[in-house]
Structure 1
């Protein structure tokens, strides 16, 4: 079997896992971030109890080592996907593992928005939703893009880790061929491809950051 017949499909699987998982993590992590920004003690509508509940949930999910998380949610993955191994199945733990980080990124970016801008919007009678979506999000967009670039690169690393327990992708190739079959060249090529992928994603992230930061 030629090298490209091994690496190219694995690269495609990794890209598939990374982008789908990151997208779902953003969708899932966005709402908790908004709620936490609003209910924070210095937020638009402070509510200590609500903030504390979300804060604890996010911290608990962030504290799970990814390998353990994958194993713990096997039953949940089985319910959703119908199986616990494979590229699509790996998206479930990748999403759940990444969503809390996305929540923190968006929360932190929104909290960094200049208070004067927010107070000015309030003085003009803007509602909470208007302040969030028309003032804070546009102001925080560069920081969010920068944070999400780091997230997607982290997901690349997690997807490689997922290959250790049948998640597919480049990590699976590294384990299956490089480790178990002692093919050092495949292991090296896999690492090189991962490095190139990360560099490409970082470059794309910086390009988008520069566009939205103008």
Structure 2
């Protein structure tokens, strides 16, 4: 089986798709798979999950570049779609796909593993991160566009920036250790340890 082992029997494959180089993440546990952000290039994504039982497609937030392949993947596989509650209606309007609404405290099952849903308000009202917390490997966070190497995601108002940085601080940095791997919606992964020293700098600069 291909993919990077990430603990608790899961394996991870990452593929950059579309003109904005969105990361689509495929988590595999035995015959079951879970796709995070069906962003673009549905044929490429369907090739990734060929012969697997796709148990869900999670959209991290409602921006168009993260959901261009959602309808095609759901139509081809019959897998349920998930999205953060405040963004779900907008995603349905854009794609025609009805999403199961999730938020803080919810989990999404992949075989015998449950991923924690974490709501992060600011980049969009309903952005979510997914946390994988195995006993035998570092924790991993799939953060969409809410946290990147070097800062939080783009916001358009000071209040949104404050909300996002506060949520990222309290729900990610305050809960997870420095060895936690962050998988963002675009670009390379980082760790909370690499980013933690810069939190005050981010707040001071306001983005």
TM-score (structure 1 length as normaliser) = 0.24
Greater strand share, 1 or 2?
2
Q: Which has the higher contact order (CA 8 A, sep 6+)?
A: 1
Greater CA radius of gyration, 1 or 2? 1
